[in-house]
């Protein structure tokens, strides 16, 4: 049925900072979701290969500290360069199973020199084609010690059956103008990805749904102390300060009326399934539409620069 969409929220932990093992885990999760005839699967922010938890545990802001340089180098080595085909196996699974995917990665962007990292949200359609790579506009607080700021190129939406899907990374979801950029393109299924924990998802998920009169899917990763691989550089120093649980999940779904469809799920590593009915979008837009009948573009209007930023342009 064109107005129904079966979604899966992949609340899983990475094999932290191991891109090969984490990729295999993602692939197995996609295969499992495909058995349930899932049409869209969503993974958390920076899941591949993991969130930079060490920054808060190793005096991450101290200037010229060798431990942070060495862990950062390990992080870069395990991040993803899309141009090198490092997402090809995931794209092939999307095509094989006719399943669309939103996946949070650490991107080592070739067009920015290939050494800096971007928290990117990748959309792969059901034909296995990468349709957008949204680099997080503004890394949050200590993330700025290891991530670079992105650009507006990935502020795009995509058709999926009768739905129009778009997504943002973590605290970008608190930024009114990027949200508006997606609303203005017809978004009615908003994807919000997070590194984990319900303190991020419990309020903003319902708020965006009520503001936009759209479905909102929030997907968080998990991370426990025992999830750090023994091969992690300076593991002993990281574990000295690490709490038992670093990310407790909090994946959830809110409907276009702003009410819970699935409340935040905590501590469980699992696939969470739900079938969404598009008709509820039309019902809730009857009395409020933030970029339609309840907007005043003659008074306020947003300008969006979607040019992919690069330091050097060549004319050969």
Name the pLDDT band for 106 (thresholds 50, 70, 90). Answer: very high
Mean of the per-residue pLDDT values of the chain? 96
The mean pLDDT of 279-288, rounded to a whole number, is 97
Q: Is the pLDDT of residue 122 over 90?
A: yes
* DSSP for residue 6: E
The answer to whether 204 touches 192, Cβ cutoff 8 Å, is yes
pLDDT tens-digit series, residues 175-191:
999 999 999 999 999 99
273 vs 226 pLDDT, higher one:
273
Name the pLDDT band for 289 (thresholds 50, 70, 90). Answer: very high
Query: Cα separation of 208 and 212, whole Å?
Result: 6
The mean pLDDT of 18-46, rounded to a whole number, is 98
CA nearest to 87, candidates 52, 117, 132: 132
Q: Is the pLDDT of residue 278 over 90?
A: yes
Q: Is the pLDDT of residue 298 over 90?
A: yes
Residue 1: the pLDDT is 82
Residue 147: the pLDDT is 98
* Sequential DSSP letters for 212-245: HTSEEEEEE-EEEGGGS-TTSTTHHHHHHH--SE
Helix (H, G, I), strand (E, B) or coil at 314: coil
The mean pLDDT of 271-285, rounded to a whole number, is 98
pLDDT tens-digit series, residues 236-250:
999 999 999 999 999
Q: Is the pLDDT of residue 18 over 90?
A: yes
215 Cβ contact partners less than 8 Å away, ≥ 6 residues apart:
163, 188, 189, 190, 209, 253, 254, 255, 256, 261, 276, 280, 281
State the catalytic residues: 45, 136, 170
The mean pLDDT of 31-49, rounded to a whole number, is 98
Residue 158: the pLDDT is 98
In the chain the domains, ranked by start, together with CATH numbers, are 4-285 (3.60.110.10)
* DSSP for residue 39: S
The mean pLDDT of 118-141, rounded to a whole number, is 98
The mean pLDDT of 160-165, rounded to a whole number, is 98
CA distances from 257 to 24, 172, 176, 214 (A): 37, 22, 19, 8
Residue 127: the pLDDT is 98
The answer to whether 205 touches 189, Cβ cutoff 8 Å, is no
Share of the chain above pLDDT 70, in %: 100
CA distances from 299 to 186, 295, 296 (A): 20, 9, 5
Query: Cα separation of 247 and 79, whole Å?
Result: 20
């Amino acid at each position: 049925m064109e107005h129904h969409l079966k979604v899966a929220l992949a609340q899983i932990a990475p094999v932290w900072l191991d891109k090969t093992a984490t990729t295999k885990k993602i692939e197995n999760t996609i295969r499992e979701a495909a058995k349930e005839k899932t049409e869209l699967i969503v993974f958390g922010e920076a899941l591949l290969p993991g969130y930079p938890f060490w920054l808060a545990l190793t005096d991450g802001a101290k200037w010229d500290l060798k431990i942070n340089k060495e862990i950062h180098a390990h992080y870069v080595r395990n991040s993803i360069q899309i141009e090198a085909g490092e997402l090809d196996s995931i794209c092939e699974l999307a095509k094989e199973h006719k399943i669309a995917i939103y996946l949070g990665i650490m991107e080592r962007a070739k067009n920015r020199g290939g050494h800096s990292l971007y928290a990117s949200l990748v959309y792969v359609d059901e034909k296995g084609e990468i349709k957008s790579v949204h680099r997080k506009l503004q890394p949050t607080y200590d993330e700025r010690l290891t991530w670079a700021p992105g650009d507006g190129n990935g502020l795009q939406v995509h058709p999926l059956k009768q739905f129009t899907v778009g997504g943002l990374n973590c605290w970008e979801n608190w930024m009114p103008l990027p949200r508006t950029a997606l609303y203005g393109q017809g978004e009615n299924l908003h994807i919000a990805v997070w590194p984990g924990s319900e303190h991020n998802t419990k309020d903003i998920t319902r708020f965006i749904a009520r503001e936009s009169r759209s479905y909102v899917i929030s997907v968080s990763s998990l991370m426990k102390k025992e999830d750090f691989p023994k091969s992690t550089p300076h593991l002993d120093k990281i574990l000295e300060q690490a709490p038992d649980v670093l990310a407790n999940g909090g994946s959830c779904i809110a409907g276009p009326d702003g009410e819970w469809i699935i409340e935040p799920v905590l501590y469980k590593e699992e696939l969470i399934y739900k079938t969404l009915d598009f008709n509820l979008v039309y019902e809730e837009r009857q009395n409020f539409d933030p970029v339609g009948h309840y907007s005043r573009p003659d008074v306020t209007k947003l300008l969006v620069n979607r040019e992919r930023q690069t330091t050097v342009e060549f004319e050969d």
